[in-house]
Chains A and B, each alone.
Chain A
Amino acid sequence: MPKANVICRCEEIEIDEIREWIARGYDTFDELKRELRVGMGPCQGRGCRDIILREIAKATGQPVAEIAPGTMRPPVKPIKISLLAEDFREGEHR
């Protein structure tokens, strides 16, 4: 069985796929996220983000610190629909 190096466990994305899309010019975290769904799973990129940013840094020659980490969105942790629904406030803007 060939070895698979899974970087994003939520979406089961391997390092080779990430490198392939970086080579095609998708060399920002947000572009890779949109194409491969890395960072879109339940962990929201907690597992894969740093590894991917390092890969982008390697490919573009920029320091990791200068690679945009992509947008982080609420909620911080997954919340059940029933629990969220209780938070609705009538009359407040949405």
Chain B
Amino acid sequence: MTDFPKTADIVIIGGGGVGTATAYYLAKSGRKNVVLLEKNTVCSGSTGRCGAGIRAQWGLELNCRMALACLDTFEHLDEELGLPTGLNQGGYLLVAYKEKEWAQFQKNVELQHSLGIMSEAFTDVKRAQEICPGVAVDDAIGFTFYQRDGHADPFLTTFAFQEAAKRYGAKFCKFTEVIGLKAKDGGMTVETNRGSIDCKEVINCAGSWAQDVAAMAGVKLPNWAERHQILITEPVDPGVCPPMLMSFSGNYYIQQRPHGSIIAGESPSSDIRLGYTSNVNSIASIARTVLKLLPRAKNIRVVRQWAGHYDMTPDSAPILGETDVKHFWHATGFSGHGFMLAPVAGQIMTALLNGDKPPFDPTIMDYRRFERGERIVEPNVV
């Protein structure tokens, strides 16, 4: 902890999924002197508190393509990083309760098929119960399912990125909070609670704090944090909820980790934004939903609840790319999907900083789109 760097080639602010993946791909590409600053410890923010889902079932072509590339990456990530990521491909079973939603799902599946995502749309409750035994969804009108979707362990994945990035020479500084950013000739100066670093490039991966970090350099981002709550049960035998069971209109997601614990969450009704406080009515509400959908889970005990942030943007789509301040980049605003999209975010940022052609054209994800009145419209989000 004593050898705090005074200079760096690239400084990454934020040690969540996006920050650590970016550090890994940059260091792997041969960039020397990559330094990641984390104000707490790695994976202590939104990634470490997330629902862990990874899905290719999206309704916008760009999102489908990016998510599919993430699935491809996740499927080989343990090998690549040398540590387990806890990937579990039990599929996502999406449940529609409304006609409009079901119509949209069918359109999404058509798009997904055209992109090689061989999802399945059906109305038969028995088929849903084959995928998720005993699920009580008689009130639903349609379902979609894609087997390659699923979930991974956000902690293990982020730490695996961190360890692999370290092996390529990247440096990680925890308990290092950025308190100032100054543009200078040919780079930036990053001021922290532990000293300042002169560097060539800065990437803001600060998630729910990205707007504050951006403001330090005079860049205005429209992000905001949205508090969501979640619960986890004691580990039980597998098979209680094999897929990620999720509904936008039903406002729930439920999954069972390979380790046996069931994780369930919902979108909040309150407007508390930044903060990790949790309340009883939230776990009671989530428990009620689990009980309704999976009645046989009634005697499983809840061991813990917590809160985390969705790092929201006005169109629930990420902000990627350089800003009006030269050498100052952003990979933020993933609106609840930063963990699943982290590999691709890291790959895009690495290509951009190296002057290479990114695997996906990020132009549309430029933060100036909001000023121009443009929106990225994704129908398949909560």
Contact = CB atoms under 8 A, between A and B. Distances in A.
B210 interface: no
B50 to A, nearest CB: 12
B259 A37 contact: yes
Interface stretch (A1-9, A51-59, A85-93): A85-93
Nearest to B231: A84
Interface residues of B, number: 42
A81 B259 contact: no
Interface string B277-315: 011111111011011000001111111111000000000
Interface in A8-62: 24-26, 28, 30-31, 34-35, 37, 40-42, 44
Contacts of B270: 93-94
By secondary structure, the B interface counts as mixed
A90 B72 CA distance: 43
A87 B280 contact: yes
Contact of B159 (A34, A86, A89): A34
Contacts of B149: none
A30 B48 CA distance: 11
B44 interface: yes
B296 to A, nearest CB: 10
B171 to A, nearest CB: 11
A88 B268 contact: no
A59 to B, nearest CB: 13
B322 interface: no
Contacts of B229: 94
Nearest to B229: A94
A40 B235 CA distance: 10
Nearest to A28: B41
Nearest to B44: A30
A67 B136 CA distance: 47
A81 B302 contact: yes
A35 B162 CA distance: 12
A22 to B, nearest CB: 13
A28 B44 CA distance: 12
Nearest to B232: A40
Given A35-B159, A73-B305, A81 B233 contact: yes
Nearest to A86: B284
Contacts of A79: 301-302
A87 B305 CA distance: 15
B303 A80 contact: no
B300 A81 contact: yes
B306 A73 contact: yes
B234 interface: yes
Contacts of B284: 84-89, 94
B159 A88 contact: no
Contact of B155 (A28, A35, A86): A35
Contacts of B306: 73
A24 B279 contact: no
Contacts of A81: 233, 287, 290-291, 297-302
Nearest to B287: A84
Nearest to B235: A41
Contacts of A25: 172
B304 A44 contact: yes
B325 interface: no
Contacts of A35: 155-156, 159
Contacts of B232: 40
Given A24-B163, A34-B159, A81-B287, A93 B281 contact: yes
B269 interface: yes
15 contacts: A24-B163, A34-B43, A34-B159, A35-B155, A37-B259, A42-B301, A73-B304, A75-B305, A78-B303, A79-B301, A81-B301, A82-B298, A94-B266, A94-B282, A94-B284
Interface of B: 41-44, 48, 155-156, 159, 163, 172, 229, 232-235, 259, 266, 268-270, 278-285, 287-288, 290-291, 297-306
5 tightest A-B CB contacts, nearest first:
A78-B301, A84-B287, A93-B270, A34-B155, A82-B298
Interface of A: 24-26, 28, 30-31, 34-35, 37, 40-42, 44, 73-75, 78-82, 84-89, 92-94
